[in-house]
């Protein structure tokens, strides 16, 4: 069964999180477009606007001692021809980030051209609030 464009983009997005979680800086480098313009906004950072700076930033992040141990979920693909946006959430030990990943076709492959992640406020609990106890 042939993959749809949406499947291909989801697969590229998964590769991105695989490289991230595996601290694989070489794979991360390969996922970013080579000729198309690229940008990257890490949580709390100024936007990075050049490939060299972006790859270097990832190398430093992935070399860091704090294990990322992250999971991506609730991915949704928005297609615009040869460009696609993936909106998703990144679950990390420190909390949840909202992420925007933009992919574009380069030499027939979906390459990442932009990543932007930022903190989400803590989720409202689905469960009813715990009763306060007079003993506490």
- The DSSP code sequence of 48-65 is B-SHHHHHHHHHHHHHSS
Residue 41 CA: distances (Å) to CA of 54, 71, 95? 9, 19, 18
Query: Using the rule CB under 8 A, which residue among 121, 125, 127, 135 binds its own copies?
Result: 121
Residue 38 near its own copies by CB under 8 A: yes
- Report how many residues bind its own copies under the rule CB under 8 A: 35
Please answer whether residues 2 and 73 qualify as being in contact, where contact means their C-beta atoms are separated by less than 8 angstroms: no
Residue 108 near its own copies by CB under 8 A: no
Nearer to its own copies, 20 or 103 (CB): 103
Rounded distance between C-alpha atoms, residue 51 and residue 47, angstroms: 12
Residue 73 near its own copies by CB under 8 A: no
> What are φ and ψ of residue 98, in 5° steps?
-95, 130
Query: Using the rule CB under 8 A, which residue among 7, 82, 94, 109 binds its own copies?
Result: 82
Q: Which residues bind its own copies (CB under 8 A)?
A: 36-39, 41, 43-47, 49, 74, 76, 78-83, 85, 87-89, 98, 100, 102, 104, 113-114, 116-121
């Amino acid at each position: 069964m042939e993959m749809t464009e949406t499947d291909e983009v989801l697969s590229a997005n998964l590769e991105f999180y695989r490289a991230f979680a595996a601290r694989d800086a070489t794979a991360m480098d390969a996922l970013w477009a080579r000729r198309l313009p690229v940008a990257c906004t890490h949580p709390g950072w100024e936007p990075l606007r050049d490939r060299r700076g972006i790859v270097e930033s990832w190398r430093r992040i992935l070399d860091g001692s704090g294990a990322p141990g992250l999971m991506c979920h609730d991915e949704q693909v928005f297609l615009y021809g040869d460009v696609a946006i993936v909106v998703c959430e990144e679950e990390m030990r420190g909390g949840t980030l909202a992420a925007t990943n933009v992919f574009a076709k380069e030499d027939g492959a979906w390459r990442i051209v932009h990543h932007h992640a930022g903190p989400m406020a803590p989720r409202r609990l689905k469960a009813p609030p715990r009763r306060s106890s007079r003993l506490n």
